Structure 1
Amino acid sequence: MNQDYIQADPWSIIEEGFDREQVKSSESLFSIGNGAMGQRANFEEHYSGETFQGSYIAGVYYPDKTRVGWWKNGYPEYFAKVLNAPNWIGINISINQEPLDLNSCKKVENFRRELNMKEGWYKRSFVATMPNGLEVAVEVVRFLSLALDETGAIQYHLQILNADVEVSLTPYVDGGIKNMDSNWADKFWNITNIASEGNRAYVNSHTMKTDFSVCTFMQANVFVDGEKIEEAPKVEQTETLVGHTYSVKVAKNETITLIKFGGYTVDRNHPKDKLMEAANKVLDKASSLGFDALLQKQKESWAQIWEMSDITIEGDVKAQQGIRFNIFQLNQTYLGKDSRLNIGPKGFTGEKYGGSTYWDTEAYCLPFYMTTKNQQVAWNLLQYRYNHLPKAIENAEKLGFSNGAALYPMVTMNGEECHNEWEITFEEIHRNGAIAFAIYNYYRFTGDYSYIPKMGLEVLIGIARFWHQRVNFSEEKQQYVMLGVTGPNEYENNVNNNWYTNYLAKWCIEYAIEQIGEVAENYADDHERIMAKTKLTEAEIKDWAKVAANMYFPYSEKHQVFLQQDGFLDKEMIKVQDLGKTQRPINQKWSWDRILRSPYIKQADVLQGFYFFEDHFSKEELERHFDFYEPFTVHESSLSPCVHSIQAAKLGRMEQAYTFYLRTSRLDLDDYNKEVEEGLHITSMAGTWMSIVEGFGGMRVLDDTLNFEPQIPEQWTSFSFKINFREQIVTITASKEGTFFELTGNDTLTIKVNGKFVELIPGKRITA
């Protein structure tokens, strides 16, 4: 049974009623971020129940020493951790000396949370009866500013409903924070200074080992029925914490309001010795605007984001809520402003996966950012990988590769591999192919070739060298084989000749050779520079070509399908439909040994290849492979349902495509995998976007032309989205009556709809 307490609403995530069992799940679901930082939806006031405290700063990490029982050569020395950062949201409240704590209250009524995705704010309200019998009404609004992305704002309203009382409020900044997922319980932060000036307070600290310096700051003001309390607060300070206590006497039903600004200044953006100065400048800007004006700017900023990235669905509120939740969280995580940053699978919502960069960015996220923003955002994501090329070469050298072969990391913060499971670190090498595919995909969509001669060709050469060295020639098969790998389907480790990995290797080599020729012909200076830098020779290129032309692919004549890997048909081929529901999810019910011997697929391997290289295969081949593999797929990877949704739509199986879409779009809202309390699945949310745009919208770029083959699920009245294609905005609306296109730009644009050319004219609505 999936969770169902989140109410269906087109623009908001809403929870009504206080349930202690849901607190950690809701902390994930109501998370907020602004690209520079983010935080789980922890309560501002103290909460003694089960909670997962989490605040995170983009790009700030700690290299936690790898914890393995048996060290092997080539193991990464550390597992990078996104750090749980000092907490600035805290506000301790006591009423007649009784702490306000929802876990100990006699009664909590009218509890409601709302995450307003349209305007970018989070609100919580409740009426609680405290152990001393006092009735308290609270309403809190919080947001992380897009306009001033180093700060956030809290407006905390409090009323006592049944007595005149003394209320004590202590807004604070706490640097004594630990990660839940520390391998060795290391101390991640070292506090260097705690300071208080007037109504402002600061904790200066730096990370151990990586030495990121951060100033966590706050400013608070208290009002009673709109009148500001002028008395100076009492300063409360410990070795890790600084707070300001305001004690006020209030009559029944009077409203106390605390306005708090807080956030982080980081030495990634400011000189180390100027962080407090930078914090004061931010606070000056925030306080001069005030809470209401800053909130208005937040609404305007989000309106601008939604103007381009929104997908509207008529007739299906749960589907509408699902896609907007996914789009909202993607934009909260990454806005494309900084090429030093990337998109972690949990974003700012939890600690799992280390908050690091995976192949998800290139395989799933790039299309979303490339089409809903401008091509500079996609360029920044590609530049991130080019900047890490020296580390990718180092990673390969550690495993015994040479001559500039590059192995991009499975998990990274700085380009260095930091994943500590050997079957993934050493063997899930398909991630190299996703990097190369992203370069191809960027050019295919934008038409901008300049990245390849400037940066991309060096990346492609390093990747081709890796694949050339990773294969070996099988005398028995008289072909090149690849041994000991793990594909995207992590439920099969250390296999030989994973079809997806072999196919990627062949394609990468051929694509690299093709681009070397293209650059030689049209960018002679770049070609000369790159050949000299990489010491690449014609003889080496010929050796690559020989490997690509003679790659082995396992194939079943009986089933007429490519096999996931050698020996796949030796398994006991029991389909998922014949597996008892009590056995699911198998990753929580079965031993790893049993999973590895089963035919069950965590996410598609072969079908992932058919998704990337759709134009290499016929529709009949896709159908045959889809029908063979989908019945064995348990979809226990967040990246699985979206690819299946797109392919089901291509095959005209709209009911199945719709079912997969709902699963990917509401994966976290409905907690399909029973793990949402650990954080959200951010990168797979880009796959949800693809399910609509590429699945139901049928969008492709073929022969340098934008193509659409729209289909509409029976449950929907219509759907609409926008695409930024080469600096021209195309709006597509599909309904039961037909499909309509509108073009915003200066020039006409010729597209293809269901195989026929259609000319779009700016400002004119075209029916196709």
Structure 2
Amino acid sequence: MNQEYIKPDAWSIIEEGWSPSMVKSSESLFSIGNGAMGQRANFEEQYSGDTFQGSYVAGVYYPDKTRVGWWKNGYPEYFAKVLNSPNFIGIDVFIDGLPLDLAQVQEVREFRRELNMKEGWYERSFIAQISDDKEIKVESRRFLSLKHDELGVINYKVTAVKGNLSITFQPYIDAGITNEDSNWDDAFWAIEELYSDQHQGMIRSRTNKTNFHVATYMQSELLKDEEHIQYATHLDQNDTTVRHEASGDIAQGESLTLRKYAGYVSSLNHNKYELFDASKKILALATEHGYEKLFNEQVEEWSNIWEMADITIDGDLKAQQGIRFNIFQLNQTYLGKDSRLNIGPKGFTGEKYGGSTYWDTEAYCIPFYMATKDQQVARNLLKYRYDQLDKAIENAEKLGFTNGAALYPMVTMNGEESHNEWEITFEEIHRNGAMVFAIYNYVRYTGDYSYVPEMGLEVMIAIARFWHQRATFSQKAGKFMILGVTGPNEYENNVNNNWYTNYIAKWCIDQAVEHLDKVKDGYPEDYDRIISLTKLTGSERASWQEVSDGMYFPYDEEYGVYLQQDGFMDKEIIPVSKLHQSQRPINQKWSWDRILRSCYIKQADVLQGFYFFEDHFSKAELEKHFDFYEPLTVHESSLSPCVHSIQAAKLDRMDQAYEFYLRTSRLDLDDYNKEVEEGCHITSMAGTWMSIVEGFGGLQIKDDTPHFTTKLPKEWAGFSFKINFRDQILNVQVTQQGTQVQLKGDQPQDVVVNGKKITLQPQVITA
């Protein structure tokens, strides 16, 4: 049974009713971020119940020493982890001297949370009975400013429901924070300096080993019934905490509000010795603007995002809520402003996976950011990988590769591999292919070929060198094979000739050869520079071609399908439908030995190749492979349902496509995998967007032209989305009456809608 305590709503995530067992799940679901920092939805006041504290600063990490039972040659020495950063939201509250703690009060009523996605704020309210004659109502709202992305704002209001009460607020910042997922319980942070005066508090911390410097700051103001009042501040601090105190008396029906301006500044953007000065400048701006202006700015900034990114669904509230939640979290995590940053699988919602960069960015996220923002955002993501090419070459060298061959990391913060499970680190090498596919996808979508001669071709050459060296020639078969790998389906390790890996390896080599010729013809100066830099010779290039032309692909004649890998048909083929629900998810119920011997697939593998290279295969071939592999897939990866939804729509399996869409869009809201308390699945949320735009919207780019083959689920009255295609906006609206496409731009644009070619002018065209 999936959790279903989140109330359906078009623009908000809403929880009603006090349920301590759901606190950690809600801390994930109601997380907030602004691309530069983020935090779980922890309570501001103290809470002695089960909770997972989490605040994060983008780009700040710690190299936690690898912990393995048996060290293997080539293992990374550390696992890069996003750091649980100093806590700036804390506001301890005392009612007539009694601490407010929802785990300890006599009763909690009318508990409600709301994450308003349209305007970008998180709010919590409840009535708490402190004692027989003391009762309060708390209304807390906070947001992380998009416009001033080092600033967070909290408005914490206490109203006397029963009794005349003395309220004491103790706003504080706490740098004595640890990660729950520390391997060795190392101290990740060292506190360098604390500062406090009547209005402001600051702590400067430094990360051990990586030497990032971060200042956490705060300033508060007090209001009685919405009017600012003067108050005496009591100051307190210890080795890790700066705490202030503000008190006031209220009669029954009156309220006292603490407004807290707080946040982080870091040495990523400021001189490390001037962080307190930078903090004071932000606080001066915050107090000058005031709460209302900052809030209105937040509403406007989110309005601008939604103007381009929104997807509307008519007639299906849970589906509408799901897609907006996914779009909202993607924008909270990454806004494309800084090419040093990337998109962690959990974003700012938890610590799992270390918060690092995976191949998810290239395979799933870039299409979303290309289409909903502009090509510079996607270019920044590609540049991130180009800037780390030297590290990818070092990663390959550690495993014995030579001559500038590159293996991009499975997990990274700075380009170095920092994943330490051998079957992933050494064997899930298909990730290299996603780097080249992202370049191909970017050029295909944006028409900006300049990236290839400037940066992309160097990446392609290094990756082609890797595949050439990684392939083994089989004298017996007379073919090149790639042995000892793990495909996207991580439930099969150390296999030979994973079809997806072999296919994308051949394709990467072909891409490198093709673009060498294009750059030579069109950009001769860049070509000469690249050849000089890489020392590429004609004989080396010819040896690549031998590997590409001679690549082996496992195939089963009886079923007429490409096989996951050699020996797949030796397994006992039992469809997932025969698995009792008590055995699911198998990654939590079965031993790894049993999983590896089973036929069950964690996520799309062969079908991932059919998704990437859809023009290489006929619809009949897709149907045959979908019918063979989908019944064996348990979808226990967050990246699986979106690909299956897209392909089911292409095959006109609309019931399946809709079911997979709901699963991907509400993966976290309904906690399908029973793990949302660890954080949300941010990168797979881009796959949810693809499920609509590429699945139901049928978007494909062919010959520089957008094609839309639209499909409408029977559960929907209609849906709409926008894409930014080459600096012009296409607005697609699909209803039961047909499909309309509207162009916002200054140049005519050819499109193909349901097989009909149309030249759009800036007006509505009906197909």
Q: TM-score scaled by structure 2?
A: 1.00
Query: What is the identity, as a one-letter code, of the residue corresponding to 2:247?
Result: S
Instruction: State whether structure 2 residue 295 is matched by structure 1 residue 295.
Output: yes
Q: Distance in 1 between matches of 2:672 and 2:586?
A: 13
2:690 aligned residue: 690
1:40 aligned residue: 40
2:79 aligned residue: 79
In the TM superposition, 1:238-387 aligns within 5 A as: 238-387=238-387
Conserved 8 A contact 1:32-1:39: yes
1:722 aligned residue: 722
Q: CA deviation at 1:76?
A: 0.3
Partner secondary structure for residue 202 of structure 1? strand
Query: What is the identity, as a one-letter code, of the residue corresponding to 2:32?
Result: I
Q: Distance in 2 between matches of 1:331 and 1:92?
A: 31
Per the alignment, do residues 103 and 761 of structure 1 end up closer, same or farther by CA in structure 2, a change over 3 Å counting?
A: same
Q: CA deviation at 1:227?
A: 3.5
Partner secondary structure for residue 13 of structure 1? strand
Partner secondary structure for residue 290 of structure 2? helix
Conserved 8 A contact 2:199-2:233: yes
2:701 aligned residue: 701
Q: Deviations over 1:200-241 (max 9, x none)?
A: 100110000000000000010111223433233111111100
Instruction: State whether structure 2 residue 766 is matched by structure 1 residue 767.
Output: yes
Q: Distance in 2 between matches of 1:209 and 1:668?
A: 34
1:547 aligned residue: 547
1:756 aligned residue: 756
Q: Distance in 2 between matches of 1:383 and 1:41?
A: 33
Q: Distance in 1 between matches of 2:320 and 2:246?
A: 44
Conserved 8 A contact 2:115-2:122: yes
Partner secondary structure for residue 527 of structure 1? helix
Q: Distance in 2 between matches of 1:233 and 1:740?
A: 61
Q: CA deviation at 1:197?
A: 2.4
Partner secondary structure for residue 45 of structure 1? coil
Query: What is the identity, as a one-letter code, of the residue corresponding to 1:478?
Result: G
Conserved 8 A contact 1:98-1:132: no
Q: Distance in 1 between matches of 2:131 and 2:663?
A: 42
Q: Distance in 1 between matches of 2:225 and 2:649?
A: 57
Q: Which moved more, 1:281-290 or 1:389-398?
A: 281-290
1:51 aligned residue: 51
Partner secondary structure for residue 746 of structure 2? coil
Instruction: State whether structure 2 residue 487 is matched by structure 1 residue 487.
Output: yes
Partner secondary structure for residue 608 of structure 1? helix
1:469 aligned residue: 469
Q: CA deviation at 1:756?
A: 2.0
Conserved 8 A contact 1:151-1:263: yes
Conserved 8 A contact 2:29-2:669: yes
For the aligned residue pairs, the C-alpha RMSD in angstroms reads 0.7
Per the alignment, do residues 426 and 513 of structure 1 end up closer, same or farther by CA in structure 2, a change over 3 Å counting?
A: same
Conserved 8 A contact 1:189-1:207: yes
The percentage of aligned residue pairs carrying the same residue is: 66
Q: Distance in 2 between matches of 1:365 and 1:231?
A: 49
Partner secondary structure for residue 601 of structure 1? coil
2:497 aligned residue: 497
1:213 aligned residue: 213
Gaps of 5+ in 2: none
Conserved 8 A contact 2:133-2:163: no
In the TM superposition, 1:530-679 aligns within 5 A as: 530-679=530-679
Q: Deviations over 1:3-25 (max 9, x none)?
A: 01000000000000010000000
Conserved 8 A contact 1:26-1:677: yes
Query: What is the identity, as a one-letter code, of the residue corresponding to 2:764?
Result: R
1:169 aligned residue: 169
Q: CA deviation at 1:410?
A: 0.2
Q: Deviations over 1:476-517 (max 9, x none)?
A: 111000110000000000000000000000000000000001
Q: Which moved more, 1:397-406 or 1:231-240?
A: 231-240
Q: Distance in 1 between matches of 2:416 and 2:180?
A: 23
Partner secondary structure for residue 381 of structure 2? helix
Q: Distance in 1 between matches of 2:196 and 2:30?
A: 31
Q: Distance in 2 between matches of 1:458 and 1:607?
A: 29
Conserved 8 A contact 1:362-1:437: yes
Q: Distance in 2 between matches of 1:737 and 1:752?
A: 18
Q: TM-score scaled by structure 1?
A: 0.99
Q: Distance in 1 between matches of 2:250 and 2:654?
A: 61
Partner secondary structure for residue 6 of structure 2? coil
Q: Distance in 2 between matches of 1:667 and 1:184?
A: 32
Q: Which moved more, 1:223-232 or 1:602-611?
A: 223-232
Q: Distance in 1 between matches of 2:65 and 2:618?
A: 48
Conserved 8 A contact 1:17-1:109: yes
Conserved 8 A contact 1:199-1:232: no
Conserved 8 A contact 1:121-1:143: yes
Q: Which moved more, 1:133-142 or 1:291-300?
A: 133-142
In the TM superposition, 1:67-216 aligns within 5 A as: 67-131=67-131, 133-216=133-216
Query: What is the identity, as a one-letter code, of the residue corresponding to 2:621?
Result: E
Q: Distance in 2 between matches of 1:370 and 1:247?
A: 50
Q: CA deviation at 1:759?
A: 1.1
Q: Which moved more, 1:227-236 or 1:447-456?
A: 227-236
Q: Distance in 1 between matches of 2:753 and 2:161?
A: 62
Q: CA deviation at 1:324?
A: 0.2
In the TM superposition, 1:512-531 aligns within 5 A as: 512-531=512-531
Q: Distance in 2 between matches of 1:670 and 1:32?
A: 19
Q: Distance in 1 between matches of 2:757 and 2:95?
A: 70
Q: Deviations over 1:85-140 (max 9, x none)?
A: 00000000111111000011111001000000000001100001124641010000
1:437 aligned residue: 437
Q: Distance in 2 between matches of 1:416 and 1:30?
A: 32
Q: Deviations over 1:596-628 (max 9, x none)?
A: 000000001100000000000000000000000
Conserved 8 A contact 1:160-1:253: yes
Query: What is the identity, as a one-letter code, of the residue corresponding to 1:612?
Result: F
Query: What is the identity, as a one-letter code, of the residue corresponding to 2:359?
Result: W
Q: Deviations over 1:48-96 (max 9, x none)?
A: 0000000000000000000001111100000011000000000001111
Q: Deviations over 1:361-414 (max 9, x none)?
A: 000000000000000000000000000000000000000000000000000000
Q: Distance in 2 between matches of 1:277 and 1:628?
A: 63
Q: CA deviation at 1:358?
A: 0.2
2:713 aligned residue: 713
Q: Distance in 1 between matches of 2:756 and 2:545?
A: 37
Q: Deviations over 1:677-729 (max 9, x none)?
A: 00000000000000000000000001221100001000000000001000110
Gaps of 5+ in 1: none
Query: What is the identity, as a one-letter code, of the residue corresponding to 2:341?
Result: L
Query: What is the identity, as a one-letter code, of the residue corresponding to 2:93?
Result: I
- Count of residue pairs the alignment pairs up: 767
Conserved 8 A contact 1:555-1:563: yes
Q: Distance in 2 between matches of 1:379 and 1:604?
A: 27
Partner secondary structure for residue 423 of structure 1? helix
Q: Deviations over 1:605-659 (max 9, x none)?
A: 1000000000000000000000000000000000000000000000011111000
Partner secondary structure for residue 161 of structure 1? strand
Partner secondary structure for residue 162 of structure 2? coil
Conserved 8 A contact 1:104-1:131: no
Q: CA deviation at 1:753?
A: 1.4
Q: Distance in 2 between matches of 1:175 and 1:529?
A: 49
Q: CA deviation at 1:250?
A: 2.1
Q: Distance in 1 between matches of 2:382 and 2:581?
A: 42
Query: What is the identity, as a one-letter code, of the residue corresponding to 1:156?
Result: Y
Query: What is the identity, as a one-letter code, of the residue corresponding to 2:410?
Result: M
Q: Distance in 1 between matches of 2:487 and 2:692?
A: 26
